[in-house]
Amino acid sequence: MNQSIIYAVNDHMYDFFVASQESRLQHAPELPCYVIPFSNNFERISRLSKTFNFRILQTDLQKWDELGETIWGHTSHRPNVEKKSYFRKLAMFEAPTEHFLFVDANTIFTDKIAFAINLFARSELDISFLSYSLPGRNFQHGGLIDLLDQINQKVRHGFNCGFILGRQDLALYDTMKILASPGPRLQRVFGGAPEQAFLSYVAGLTGKKMARFIDILPQATTEQSTDEPLIQRGGNTMFGANSRTPGKRTFFLKWNGAKLHEGLSNFDVLDGYYKAGLARIDKT
């Protein structure tokens, strides 16, 4: 099988990652899994490799750090998280399989997903993503937006990088390095999402064929969560509610990033998903 699932994660997301791996082994046990260290804070995650049957993606992490640093220097995206760290996600294109699905570490599969990768593999697309970004999140300069629109009308305001179906492209790093050469001047045209802005920019300028996930799988819904709480504990909203759109299938859910409560134990994470009916996780 020439397909895989890829994550980028560090120990800060340990509990969320445990929950995600429980769901992966339930709904996609046949697919090889590779993990990119999001930062050097990775010891606890690495010890899970045998438990959840994944491998550490063999790549030169320093070159991805340097790529991000070329543009963003040592500026931060979130407290104590430098923007350059997010560029490690882009190592997904060095996957050792021809096709891959990259998902964020807080993604819970709720249905079989391999056939969606098969659909992508049979298409002519280079990239498929979950949704377009909101205006201003990736690009904040009208001239750049107009330029990209002339080259590739599919890029629009760029796309989110939390769910990417893609193809191995070992030459893409060299292209990225060239396109990052303007350095800090790119900060003037990019929005606040570092790796999303850059990948959307690269995909646009290189004419990548792209489409949304629901364009290749119309029965899927992209409405993964809302601000409506399913479970509350101690005043903290733990889960966003799945919309359950009639006639649509939910293949995965994402913990609502705006409502994260990261002090939960593994049991709380798994038990919460189980009680909410978001995944049939065997906690034994």
CA distance 251 to 249: 6
Give per-residue burial for 107-122: e unless 16+ CB within 10 Å, then b.
Answer: bbbbbebbebbeebee
| pLDDT at residue 120 greater than cutoff 60 | yes
Question: What percentage of the chain carries pLDDT values higher than 70?
Answer: 77
CA distance 57 to 64: 13
CA distance 110 to 116: 13
CATH number of 3-218+267-275: 3.90.550
- Those residues whose C-beta lies under 8 Å from the C-beta of residue 131, and which sit 6 or more positions away, are 159, 160, 212, 222
Helices (H), 73-141: 114-122
| pLDDT at residue 182 greater than cutoff 80 | yes
Tell me the per-residue pLDDT of 3-42, one tens digit each, with 9 for 90 and over: 999 999 999 888 788 888 988 998 899 999 999 999 989 9
Structure tokens at 216: 């290749």
CB 228 within 8 A of CB 256: no
Please state the domain extents for the chain: 3-218+267-275
Tell me the per-residue pLDDT of 88-111, one tens digit each, with 9 for 90 and over: 999 999 999 999 999 999 887 877
Helices (H), the chain: 14-27, 43-46, 49-52, 61-72, 114-122, 142-151, 172-179, 194-205, 213-216, 266-276
SS3 166: strand
Closest CA to 101 of 216, 190, 241, 246: 216
Q: How far is CA 68 from CA 38, 107, 110, 160, 177, in A?
A: 13, 24, 33, 17, 10
Q: How far is CA 204 from CA 21, 77, 122, 174, in A?
A: 32, 23, 22, 16
Structure tokens at 185: 């001047």
Going by pLDDT thresholds of 50, 70 and 90, the confidence category of residue 268 is low
| pLDDT at residue 67 greater than cutoff 90 | yes
Residue 111 exposure: Cα atoms within 13 Å on the Cβ side: 11
pLDDT for 138 equals: 84
pLDDT for 18 equals: 84
